Amino acid sequence: MTRHSNIHIISILYLISVFDTVMSIKIKKMWCIMQVSKRVLQLKDSPLRKLTPLIEAKKKEGKTFIHFNIGQPDLETPQCFFDAIQNFKGNNVPYAPSLGIPPLIEAIQGYFKHQGISFKSNEIIVTTGSSEAIFFVMNAICDPFDEVLIPEPYYVNTVSFMKQLDVVVKGIPTYASDRYHLPSMQDIETHITPRTKAMLLTHPNNPTGTVYSEYEMEMLKEIAIKHHLYLVVDEVYTGIVYDQIPSRSFASLEDLDDHVVIIDSVSKRYSSCGARIGAIASRNHNLMKEIGKLAQARLSAPTLEQIGAVALYNIAPSFIKKTAEIYECRRNVMVNALKDIEGIHVSVPEGAFYCLVDTPFHSAEAFALWCVEHFHVNHESIVVAPAQDFYSNPKSGAHQIRLAFVHDVVVLEKGLNLLKEAIKQYTFVQKGINV
């Protein structure tokens, strides 16, 4: 081939590639194909909320639902929260300090003090709910492809945060037969690799209601020290424990100051989900300094809600005890009703306000959808949360549903009767029998 024909071919190839680029841009413009990141594409809709559009459509048709799917407490937000915000005297709502307003940091210190735990003011950062707290902590601890151990089934949104940070979740399997308590230290250690940075726990656990024993806490401490791991503990359900099980914060573990990071929030204990106030507490000053930069970049957590949260954190601990008694009564109602339903198994929760239930169905997700779409008694139905996304291997939880007991006893009983009927009817549907 001559030099001329070579140049000719290269020119043609160049023109083709330019044409290709121009055309693909034109096609994208023509069809409005705007690109989004691969990172968001790998995220899933929240299993707790993805039925919402269908539920809304059904409500417009006159169907009503008892919601067992979302862990939003129905109890009244304490009046002191509203009073504190109403007493705000300014004529402008300013940004708050990035790390939180001093009275709130002081109130959070006071809350821990009641548990015999001491945090200095620079060891607490106020966040926009515990969701932001988890995101900040993981962002500050992990680089992409680092690994975090999480007992599974787990709180599903945590995994979404990890994916956003390209952090790898390593599930530590736990089982209903052990009431979802942890496996042995040796078992847990098999999941640790040179890339493991942290263990992340929810205590008491969502969705299992497991409250870790003294023995488990000491074991986790030993693992954290031996393998130089952070122990990040989401304690948003602290105090909501049953059967007089002691509720101890991981912050009370000694000789673990650099390892332990506590995540907290007003959402659950004080029935204040929409306030969006949470906190990070840790004695690891280096880590807190770095998290401080993330807090600065988002300017501040909501100012007025922080003022309201001061009042919440200052409430006497007896309030939380009374709240736990209300949930304990509801738990008993739910567990007893569930034990009465043929074909299902429930692991009795020790804390938080969820029951994780084994159904007889291969796809609890299909059952949840059927309840919304087809099932009703006098135009009333239920919404349950399928549990498959609470596991790293969805097959593990494909037959499970999570039920939140965040209704008064009358509504709970009505909802559980509906569930009983739904399970009966769906069993027939599965067998191809018309109902």
Ligand X SMILES: Cc1ncc(COP(=O)(O)O)c(C=O)c1O
Q: Copy the structure tokens of residue 374.
A: 């087809």
Smaller CB separation from ligand X, 97 or 129: 129
**Element spanning 26, H or E:** helix 3-30
Using CB under 6 A, which of 109, 130, 160, 282 touches ligand X? 130
Q: Which part of the chain contacts ligand X (CB under 6 A), choosing from 33-41, 125-133, 306-314, 391-399? A: 125-133
Our measurement of the distance from residue 111's CA atom to the centroid of its chain's CA atoms, rounded to an integer in Å, reads: 22
Q: List the one residue from 58, 67, 68, 71 that touches ligand X (CB under 6 A).
A: 71
**Closer CB to ligand X, 75 or 192, in the complex:** 75
- At residue 199, the 3 state secondary structure works out as strand
Does position 155 bind ligand X by CB under 6 A?
yes
Q: Rule CB under 6 A: choose which of 267, 300, 306, 359 binds ligand X.
A: 267
Min separation Cβ 330 and ligand X, Å: 17
- What is the separation of C-alpha 44 from the centre of its chain, rounded to a whole number of angstroms? 14
Quote the least distance from Cβ 181 to ligand X, whole Å. Answer: 17
- For tokens 């957590």, the residue is 301
The per-residue DSSP string of 200-258 comes to EEESS-TTT-----HHHHHHHHHHHHHHT-EEEEE-TTTT-B-TT-----GGG-TT-TT
Q: Site for ligand X (CB under 6 A): which residue of 69, 160, 174, 206? A: 206
Nearest alpha-carbon partner for 205 in 250, 172, 235, 161:
235
Q: Which stretch binds ligand X (CB under 6 A): 123-131, 301-309, 376-384, 394-402?
A: 123-131
From 14-22, 124-132, 282-290, 305-313, span contacting ligand X (CB under 6 A): 124-132
Instruction: Tell which one of 69, 109, 131, 400 touches ligand X (CB under 6 A).
Output: 131
247 binds ligand X (CB under 6 A): no
In this structure, the chain runs to a length of: 435
Compute the least distance from the CB of residue 136 to ligand X, in Å. 12
Binding test (CB under 6 A) with ligand X, winner from 196, 265, 306, 347: 265
Is 278 a binding residue for ligand X by CB under 6 A? The answer is yes
SS3 for 104-171 is HHHHHHHHHHCCCCCCCHHHEEEECHHHHHHHHHHHHHCCCCCEEEEEECCCHHHHHHHHHCCCEEEE
Task: Kindly determine how many residues on this chain lie close enough to bind ligand X according to the rule CB under 6 A.
Answer: 13
| Of positions 78, 129, 209, 386, contacts ligand X by CB under 6 A | 129
State which amino acid sits at residue 78. Answer: P
Residue with tokens 């027939």: 428
Closest Cα partner for 233 from 241, 242, 225, 224?
Answer: 224
Q: Which residues of 39-58 are buried (b: 16+ CB within 10 A; e: fewer)?
A: eeeeeeeebbeebeeebeeb
CB neighbours (10 Å) of residue 362? 12
Residue 129 CB, nearest approach to ligand X (Å): 3
Give the shortest CB-278-to-ligand X separation in angstroms: 4
Cβ neighbour number for residue 19 with a 10 Å cutoff: 10
Residue nearest to ligand X (CB): 129
Task: Please report, for residues 256, 361, 378, the alpha-carbon distance to residue 433 in angstroms, rounded to integers and kept in the order given.
Answer: 59, 15, 21
Strands (E), 20-102: 64-67
Site string for ligand X, 213-242 (x = CB under 6 A): ---------------------x-x------
Strand partners, 381: 65
Does residue 272 interact with ligand X by CB under 6 A?
Answer: no
Tell me how far, at minimum, the Cβ of 100 lies from ligand X, in Å: 14
Shortest Cβ 279–ligand X spacing (Å) = 9
How many angstroms separate the CA atoms of 215 and 204, rounded? 15
Q: Is 353 in the site for ligand X (CB under 6 A)?
A: no
CB of 218 to ligand X, least distance (A): 22
To ligand X, the closest distance from the beta carbon of 274 in angstroms equals 9
Q: Using the minimum distance from each CB to ligand X, give the nearer residue, 303 or 363.
A: 303
Pair of tokens at residue 237: 């359900």
- Span interacting with ligand X, options 33-41, 103-111, 126-134, 247-255, rule CB under 6 A: 126-134
Give the residue with the Cβ less far from ligand X, 49 or 113.
Answer: 49
Which parts of this chain interact with ligand X (CB under 6 A)? 71, 129-131, 155, 202, 206, 234, 236, 265, 267, 273, 278
